[in-house]
Amino acid sequence: MMVHARISQPTDDGQTADPGAAAWITRIDPPIAASGAAAAGPLAGLRFAVKDNIDVAGLPTTAACPAFAREAANHAQVVQRLLDAGAVLVGKTNLDQFACGLNGTRSPYGAVPNSFDARYVSGGSSSGSARVVATGEVDFSLGTDTAGSGRVPAGLNNIVGLKPTKGLISTRGVVPAAQSVDCVSIFARTVELAARVLSVAMGHDAHDPYSRALTPITAPLPPRLRIGVPSTLEFFGDAESAAAFERSLAQLEALGATRVPIDYAPLAEAAALLYESALVAERYAAVRPFFDAHEDEVIEPVRSILARGRQYSAADFVDAQTRLRALAQQAAPMWQNIDILVVPTAPTHYTIEAMRADPVALNQHLGAYTNFVNLLDYAALSVPTCLRSDGLPFGLTLIGPCASDFQLAELGQRLHHATGLTLGATGAPMPAPAALPLVKPAATVKVAVVGAHLSGMPLNGQLTERGATLLREMLTAPQYRLYALPGTVPPKPGMVRVPTGGASLIVEVWEMPATAYGSFVALIPAPLGIGTLTLDDGSSVQGFVCESIALDGAEDITHHGGWRSYIASRQAALA
């Protein structure tokens, strides 16, 4: 295969004249595209890039180490699947060397700067892949994620980072970091596109020893969502991120979620095992032949991390694995009380200068809420939620059990669209929500409310706590009259259909999960009930009706046009 490419050269000091150019190692001209039927595939015409530890036939795979570079004979399996779906490959991106780091400064091809402020790190190791999506140079990209590399750069650059369940996407043709926990990750500016790429990229690969024939869960998460939040949180002195996390949780609560505190200790201990136990030997094993022969060609602190893997025995490795399994058992009961776990994607931002001055400790801080996820076989999705007051991005990571990837995407899309953010660093507006692949829409019921259940009224919580959402305010057909029922607490109206002399009344139409509808109806006291209402556009919905026997002594308030106007008139009379 003949591929024309422009390949970047390493710099003496790891810095480039054009910081944005550091995101790329290889640019392909013309881009690689499949022909024939693929041109009309589900990803037709979308431009993408891949992290340069992923093979592209005819191009060198460097893993950000020039001495390691080797020309790939074949595309990585995931690359081939994307090309076959019509996507167009435009280049290979920079990374922390051998995917060892979470900050984006550990590369001889230059530090990749944050897309919002070039003084700050982009996050890593998939630094270039995140930046080129955030800046709009490509539609989506592939990274890898062993300890958070598919999430931290997303959170720091205001984009979506989808870290799939281990084994869902083949890693054949990917330079391993720690092969038993490696994942190919997806960056995009919207959840919908990330999920669409996943639906194409995933699939069992018998030639990948860690691939699994998994069936993703397709039912949406429950409407009365229980979100686990660590009972103690560390933001390393960053008050901006602490405040952003609270604002982000409030956004989830507005979608009907309830916080449940969880003990983070077993997750934190599991995370520490990745680098502070014999598990680090897997990172050394991934590149052992090259590293033993060319150790001096590896930059610090990557060299020291890989070299540390030599010191452990096989028995040490078994002990570390056994401890990890014990921690997994210790953490498992939390899923009985929560539906998903929610953490900050990254607890803070650091400048490139600060990171270079203290590269190990600050890098560990960035992974405070990421390292345990692959070790414990969870799925995760990093979603932008706000910009801090200093203009830097902040995001949440939604974490679920194995195979919950598309469940997380369904919630993640609702959360992302509720933020009102623009896309990445492009300033482009958020598009309308789109149908997600493989997600079965939940059965819902539309209910028209006319009185105490209106938004802001005393009983509205009976709707919101069941995951109901307000669709719109509408008018009924001109066939109804409204009465203030005496002696009701809180005050309630009764709406009745009449053969003549009716009027159009203001109602709110809400949509709630069908699974919650029965418990809602059970709360409705006589003389009220649920029947079928006709709206002024001719459509019909379920809605509140009243027994006519209850109207004795009731005040006819039809002329107010709705309950809210009537309540306002009473308050004005008392003022």
Catalytic residues: 51, 125, 149
Residue with tokens 């719109």: 472
Strand stretches in 102-188, DSSP E: 140-145, 160-163, 183-188
What is the gyration radius of the CA atoms in the chain, in angstroms? 28
- In terms of Cα–Cα distance, which of 510, 509, 497 is closest to 558? 497
Q: Is the peptide bond before 527 cis (omega within 30 degrees of 0)?
A: yes
CA distance 160 to 177: 22
Tell me the β-bridge partners of 144.
Answer: 184
> Are 565 and 471 in contact, with CB atoms under 8 Å apart?
no
- In terms of Cα–Cα distance, which of 254, 256, 248, 257 is closest to 227? 257
Tokens of 361: 């400790």
Q: How far apart are the first and last CA of the chain?
A: 83
> Are 21 and 113 in contact, with CB atoms under 8 Å apart?
no
Q: Half-sphere exposure (CA, 13 Å, Cβ side) for 27? A: 11
Name the residue type at position 143: G
Which H helix or E strand runs over 252?
A: helix 239-254
CA distance 150 to 434: 23
The count of other CB atoms within 10 Å of the CB of residue 389 is: 10
Q: What is the DSSP string of 306-355?
A: HHHGGG--HHHHHHHHHHHHHHHHHHGGGGGT-SEEEEES-S---BHHHH
CA distance 368 to 347: 7
Helices 314-331 and 265-276 pack at an angle, to 10 degrees, of: 160
Burial class (CB in 10 A: 0-12, 13-18, 19+), 232: exposed
Burial class (CB in 10 A: 0-12, 13-18, 19+), 30: exposed
CA distance 154 to 175: 21
Following CA atoms 344, 346, 348, 351 in sequence, which dihedral angle do they give, to the nearest 10 degrees? -160
CA distances from 470 to 36, 250, 464, 504, 508 (A): 46, 18, 9, 20, 7
Give the list of residues 6+ apart from residue 457 with CB closer than 8 angstroms, or none.
Answer: 451, 490, 563, 564
The edge-to-edge listing of strands for the beta sheet with 258-262 is: 5-7, 24-33, 88-93, 47-51, 140-145, 183-188, 160-163, 379-387, 393-400, 340-344, 226-230, 258-262
CA distance 264 to 257: 20
